[in-house]
Structure 1
Amino acid sequence: MTKPIPYNTLSSTSSLGKKCCYCFPLRIGCFILGYLTMFTNVYNTGLLITLTNYIGAGSHSFDRTTSFDSIDLEELSEPTTTLQPAQQSSESPLLSGVGFVLLMTIVINAAWLLVNIACVVGLHRRRPGNIKFYVLFAACRLVLVFAGLVYLTMTITTPALMLHGLDIAVASYFITVYNTYARQLENEP
């Protein structure tokens, strides 16, 4: 009669328990994924900050005291800017909404970057708690991405849906890899 295999040792005997992407050892694969995610996050956050600065400078929202509204129209040779206050009043709510969305995206990316750094530190120090925190945060992100997919199915065409679905599949696999490695670290003596 064969003995049943305990649940906690199943992950170390499967192919996922030994390899990441079927070619790298699990530890090395987690390092590759961790550093790639961290560098991608730094790049994305830099792009968002650049975009925010560009929009802020273009809308003159950074310097409220010396905006174009304070220019005396009588001093100009051609008073062609008389439509500017009406334009600004209609664009102001839109720009403040865009600014708020960009600010929230930057804050979320900064939090994601801190979680990525904690995960990489956990990988180096072999601390499963840091890796499990990353898994929890990534799972919450995955739920938000899935909610975005549900929204996209109602509004957008097939290529965007396929790209979003691919993102969900890849993120799910990476979460599984990190979770498997964290379990292995917990089972080590």
Structure 2
Amino acid sequence: MFVHGRYIRKKIIRGFSKSNKSMSTPSKPLPFFTKCCFCIPLRIGCFILGYFSLVIKTVHTITLIGFTAYFGYTTHGFDHFDRPNDMDERRVAELDIMEKPILKRIELFFAIALLANFIWLFVNIACLVGLHKRRPGPVRLYVSFATFKLILSLVGIISLMGTDLTRVLTAIFEMFTFVLAAYFILVYYVYAMQLEREEFERQSNITFEHVKTIGDIYPTKLDKQNLVA
């Protein structure tokens, strides 16, 4: 069977094109969701949100560290509060029994809060790195953590519901921030889908170019020769 060299290359490229079309591609971004706040491109909007969140979270973490250090210092390492030197030893023992469990709970609260803040800072920085390098993975990670945080805030909003007017007003305010946060998470999610699609198309083009150059490994005269299969 005689096959022309150029025909071989065409068959290879055509076969790759068919297999490439059959591969599952990332879902397209929502056609009506191409801007952040209906006026800013998604990429710029994600950068604004990311750096704003980073600044707020950094200030919050530094404040929390300072408050934890101050409270730990004034309670002698979350052990006890200062007492008058002339206090009766029996009274001191009673206060120790009352204070230590409370201080240990406060210490645990600060530890969990600091850990959560550091994790959130790490995720925020990773998201910004992903935005700069156009990598969807870190952005997806940020969306996952933000969604989990949003669910926790929803639980808090539900717990605030009651007959007390102050609690109802607080719940309304928290619901507003909840909706706003959900919208911003959607911005990140849509842009992550866009990055995934761009990455998929880029990888497909690179692979296709490699396949196109398969014919170049043969001599130029191959097109004028007949190959025996």
Secondary structure of 2:27's aligned partner: helix
Q: How does 1:1-189 map to 2 (within 5 A)?
A: 8-9=27-28, 11=30, 13-14=31-32, 16-17=33-34, 19-61=35-77, 79-80=86-87, 82=89, 83-154=91-162, 157-188=167-198, 189=201
State the TM-score, normalized to the length of structure 1: 0.81
Q: How far off its partner does 1:160 sit?
A: 1.4
In structure 1, runs of 5+ residues without a counterpart are 1-6
Q: TM-score, normalised by structure 2?
A: 0.68
Structure 2 runs not aligned, ≥5 long: 1-25, 202-229
Once the two structures are TM-superposed, the CA of residue 180 in structure 1 deviates from its matched residue by 0.6
| 2:226 aligned residue | none
Q: How much has 1:80 moved relative to structure 2?
A: 4.0
AA aligned opposite 1:45: T
CA distance in 2, matches of 1:44, 1:10: 34
Moved over 2 A (4+): 7-10, 79-89
Q: Percent identity?
A: 37
Q: What is the aligned length?
A: 172
Residue identity matched to 2:188: Y
Q: Distance in 2 between matches of 1:159 and 1:134?
A: 30
Cα distance in 1 between the residues matched to 2:64 and 2:173: 21
Aligned-residue RMSD, C-alpha: 2.6
- Write out per-residue CA displacement over residues 59-115 of structure 1, whole angstroms, 9 at most, x where no aligned residue: 112689xx979xxx9xx6xx3455333223211111111110111011011111111
Moved more, 55-64 or 91-100: 55-64
Q: CA deviation at 1:142?
A: 0.8
How far apart, in 2, do the equivalents of 1:167 and 1:106 lie?
A: 23
Q: State the AA in 1 paired with 2:63.
A: L
- What amino acid is the match of 1:88? D
Paired residues of 2:78 and 2:107 also in contact (CA < 8 A): no
Cα distance in 1 for partners of 2:29, 2:74 equals 57
Q: Is the 2:135–2:195 contact (alpha carbons within 8 Å) kept by the matching residues of 1?
A: yes
Per chain length, whose mean CA-contact separation is higher, i.e. which structure has more relative contact order (CA < 8 Å, sep 6+)?
2
After superposition, give the CA deviation of every residue in 1:7-35 in whole Å (9 maximum; x if it has no partner).
93452x31x22x11122111100000001
Looking at structure 1, the residues matched to 104 and 29 of structure 2 have their Cα atoms a distance apart, in angstroms, of 52
Structure 2 partner of 1:4: none
Partners of 2:29 and 2:191 within 8 A in 1? no
